[in-house]
Structure 1
Amino acid sequence: MNPQTLDMFAGVVNDIANGPRVGSFQGLTADLLRRLSEKGLTLEQCADRRMLARSRSTLEGRCREFGIRFPDYTPSNMRKHVQFIPTGDYLELTGPEVDAVAGILGIVTMTRDCVPFCSIPAHGFDDAKVALRAAGYEAKKGMAPKKPKAAANG
């Protein structure tokens, strides 16, 4: 690989590593390719195509080989998952992550029956999901609790 290509690659990867946290490996790859193309580098100019392979281990290995810090990202399956339960016009979260999530979202933790919980308006879930993803959480909407069935006449 020629030194100019390696310098471009190292510069782009270091820019990404020193920037905001990348949410997914696909996002990392897309950002890497976009920034390389902005610098004028095409895939044909790369002497070693493995440098841009869509394999995390390959890309991380190439960075390690050339002493480049690999950008931080957390795959979805390794993030902490939190589930909000619909209650009327609000979504409630209970469990061990309540205090951390409330701190990230800037909301107050309340207590009901000695159990801490926090709630957000249902229309604000999309913004909360983005904020939590940036903090390393994966947020989902759960199902509302089922109401008991009426006893059958019989």
Structure 2
Amino acid sequence: MVTVRREKDSMGAIEVPADKLWGAQTQRSLEHFRISTEKMPVSLIHALALTKRAAAKVNQDLGLLAAEKASAIIQAADEVLAGKHADEFPLAIWQTGSGTQSNMNMNEVLANRASEILGGVRGMERKVHPNDDVNKSQSSNDVFPTAMHVAALLAL
């Protein structure tokens, strides 16, 4: 039997496997968009992590994000870049045009991992919030195209 934790967002409560770093929105995407087994390319996942890493640093520099949270988000992003959490990005490549699901998957993974780095837990009691902290000052409509450009540049 899989152990689960209960997460809640604007769409309600949902059970998420307790051993996973993703959260409610990634779990919903897995359940409602079973259209392909093709996964998001690692190069794009890494580019998303780089984008989130840069945003955390800029938000800290602007005084919008506490240094402790920014440092934990940066460390979590560095772990993703090192390949430590590859199985935490299970979403299909086929999704909405703005990449909202992949953006939220990254936000949730980084938030839960950053919370653990700060001595907290995964889920609703986490110390770092996926939207308020990891996605601060960002929009999927900007983040995903930026990550696509970064991935293309790094592939050259």
Instruction: Place the TM-score, normalised by the shorter chain, in its bin.
Output: under 0.3
TM-score (norm 2): 0.24
Q: Which has the higher helix share?
A: 2
Larger radius of gyration: 1
